[in-house]
Structure 1
């Protein structure tokens, strides 16, 4: 009954009597499916073009997508015979396969299917051998803290370019023998926190080990990290980019004392050394330039360069923000609840020496249990557990910050040609915008709904045509106007008073 082929269609002639015949054109692929024979598609498909991204257990197959293809069938060749793996819909040009055995040869074929389900007839194959070991980790980055140098001795390092299920190890040497962290990856990256490390400079490397116990080479990717320490009686402070610090730093635990044969004096020198210590009273009657010098002199005394400075306003704000966020610094037990301690401020005769006791009050009995004592506590605790003394109260402290007098914040409804006195932060309405010299984030508390009576502190602009040299914290007879955020920008650089001292920092 089959008479001839025409244009890839079967032509059948049905004889009806003697009058002739009619042609019925039938799609051969449909007929082949119907009769169960394996046919071919008209699609011209080159097949598999390459295999890349080969690891010990994974690989990627690549081909050129054909616009006429509806899907692609993937085969693994076993002893020359195609073994079906999967079918994926078009358009597609890659497929990543997993679950292979390391150091093993594999051969694959890809065929295109048309809309009827028929395949092309390409016989192209590609062969690869999986790696023996996992890929070498391709990236290493400092995760926590986000900057170096730092005081954190257990940094967290992110290792990338790894494979789920691999054991990733972190080392401090290029041979990958000094291990400091390890973990099993759940994806292409893993964060590893080191064991406690000593103060030193480190370079971290990594490798990976697969489930077959094969280990990659040590990474060429590295990250450097420096762990620093603070000088004696200086405390570590975590940085805060929101207020302008980008690395950790150290701050004097106490207001600076004058130690040496020339003390007491207003002039720092080899016989008058700024010292952070509990004994003695704060170094006062020192002006702004000399307080800068006193801190700077500590560099040569300690055999370092460019480490000791007068505390800057961003550094002060970093400490204040940190204190403000710690629940135990609030009488209500939660940040923003109750009052913050305002220190030695209850009209005493002068600043008192400090001790290393956990708290000391100026309430007469100097005991933690005294009624109302919390408000006058002289210590604040940082988020890292460090305890700083007399940041509020005791004596004013010079800050390395000068505000242009005309740009001082003030209350517009009051005259600016005379001293306005102490203002509540929430009452300020001029020169406190986001782009002004005194934008709020640079000097104001977070809880602006609170007042000086809540321990936040207050602000004194003085006269808006003079001064501008900043002092912070308040002093021993300022009562509720003292506080960790208290700020006065009414001073001239040569001001020198018995209620004005300073504090140094050590920058890592």
Structure 2
């Protein structure tokens, strides 16, 4: 009787909201906008896919769902029909950058919902060929960027990211920086903050851990057991143990691939060859820290390192070291020295995604020391 009285006072109940369990429906005079957009193939961080698959929830079977790039729902980028649970469709090619996604619903009788609030965000990075997208890190002040999927290779005098060819070694740090910058605007030698942001993304990805969950077991060290005692190319990109003589059943820790949170795969980020880094992001080359003679766990006593802070070298957990596949902190330098990371084919337990060494003069060049370039959009 109370409901009837309200209807009489309002003169009409055509837009009456009918609640069934946890779901809310409307008659054909008014409908609500969708309430969720899910991007199943790219749940974390930026992606190189400019036309992602989306799943939109909050429409009845047969309703038309449209997705837009603006809060006024005036820039459409895709549409599809709901099956009663969700509407699944691929967006049209997006411009580079981070986008908010909004949606509307239209019934078969032509009734349209309001434009929704922002239901999802998607960051499209137009990475160069051979580069992968990296989420970046608010903690480290690193924006999303692109990095070589493979260690830099010497392809007729040009730094290239490809499976074939052994890594480009016997290169000084200045030369490595020059080769990266020669690729064009916004290319550079990877910086230490960018290196650590990749390592943190690897740390948080459960597929990398031998125990199947973050912090359980260890992550692979890559080709680091001197078998063979040389850097290796990649003959079969589908085999993560390629050219190591190992497999998932024997020598698991020699696996050469690691996954990032956004689903990207990177090769030889640990092991194979050490890699030069610029200690600071952008600007001129920076040598970084000076510690004196040191061979220490990453969670050990590093008080002798002037200016070093935990964000420069530690895991997010703070306690992961060589036993978990993160490597060691080594400094045997006297005089001028620069930082290289990751370890090489002969580093053993010292190799790891956060292995850090300050042992070599920046003008030196060795057969187990290479580099990797980044692209900053």
Structure 1 residue 286 displacement after superposition: 1.7
User: What residue number does 2:342 align with?
Assistant: 473
Q: Does 1:359 pair with 2:231? A: no
Q: Does 1:278 pair with 2:163? A: yes
Give the Cα–Cα distance (whole angstroms) in 2 for the partners of residues 193 and 401 of structure 1: 47
The higher radius of gyration belongs to 1
Q: Does 1:397 pair with 2:275? A: yes
Q: Does 1:377 pair with 2:255? A: yes
User: What residue number does 2:247 align with?
Assistant: 368
User: What residue number does 2:154 align with?
Assistant: 258
Give the Cα–Cα distance (whole angstroms) in 1 for the partners of residues 335 and 353 of structure 2: 26
Give the Cα–Cα distance (whole angstroms) in 2 for the partners of residues 421 and 291 of structure 1: 26
Decide whether the 8 Å contact of 1:176 with 1:205 is kept in 2. Answer: no
Q: Does 1:312 pair with 2:191? A: yes
Structure 1 residue 246 displacement after superposition: 3.2
Give the Cα–Cα distance (whole angstroms) in 1 for the partners of residues 212 and 47 of structure 2: 33
Give the Cα–Cα distance (whole angstroms) in 2 for the partners of residues 438 and 479 of structure 1: 25
Root-mean-square deviation (Å): 4.9
Structure 2: state its 5+ residue gaps.
Answer: 16-27
* Residue in structure 1 matching 2:128, options 212, 223, 231: 231
Decide whether the 8 Å contact of 1:199 with 1:227 is kept in 2. Answer: no
Give the Cα–Cα distance (whole angstroms) in 2 for the partners of residues 333 and 219 of structure 1: 38
State the TM-score, normalized to the length of structure 1: 0.55
Give the Cα–Cα distance (whole angstroms) in 1 for the partners of residues 7 and 248 of structure 2: 83
Decide whether the 8 Å contact of 2:224 with 2:344 is kept in 1. Answer: yes
Label 1:198 to 1:296 Cα distance change in 2 as closer, same or farther (>3 A).
farther
Decide whether the 8 Å contact of 1:406 with 1:464 is kept in 2. Answer: no
User: What residue number does 1:441 align with?
Assistant: 311
Q: Secondary structure at the match of 1:258?
A: strand
Decide whether the 8 Å contact of 1:407 with 1:431 is kept in 2. Answer: no
The farther-off stretch of 140-149 and 422-431 is 140-149
Describe how 1:404-483 pairs up with structure 2 within 5 A.
Answer: 408=290, 419-430=292-303, 437-463=307-333, 466-467=336-337, 469-483=338-352
Give the Cα–Cα distance (whole angstroms) in 2 for the partners of residues 220 and 424 of structure 1: 48
Q: Secondary structure at the match of 2:240?
A: coil
Q: Does 1:244 pair with 2:106? A: no
Label 1:458 to 1:179 Cα distance change in 2 as closer, same or farther (>3 A).
same
Higher strand share: 1
Decide whether the 8 Å contact of 1:286 with 1:500 is kept in 2. Answer: yes
Decide whether the 8 Å contact of 1:344 with 1:361 is kept in 2. Answer: no
Q: Does 1:287 pair with 2:168? A: no
Structure 1: state its 5+ residue gaps.
Answer: 1-74, 84-96, 103-131, 186-191, 261-271, 300-304, 411-418
Label 1:194 to 1:250 Cα distance change in 2 as closer, same or farther (>3 A).
farther
Q: Secondary structure at the match of 1:284?
A: coil
Give the Cα–Cα distance (whole angstroms) in 1 for the partners of residues 11 and 193 of structure 2: 52
Q: Does 1:327 pair with 2:227? A: no
The farther-off stretch of 223-232 and 323-332 is 223-232
Decide whether the 8 Å contact of 1:431 with 1:437 is kept in 2. Answer: no
Paired residues in the alignment total 351
Label 1:77 to 1:505 Cα distance change in 2 as closer, same or farther (>3 A).
closer
Give the Cα–Cα distance (whole angstroms) in 1 for the partners of residues 335 and 155 of structure 2: 37
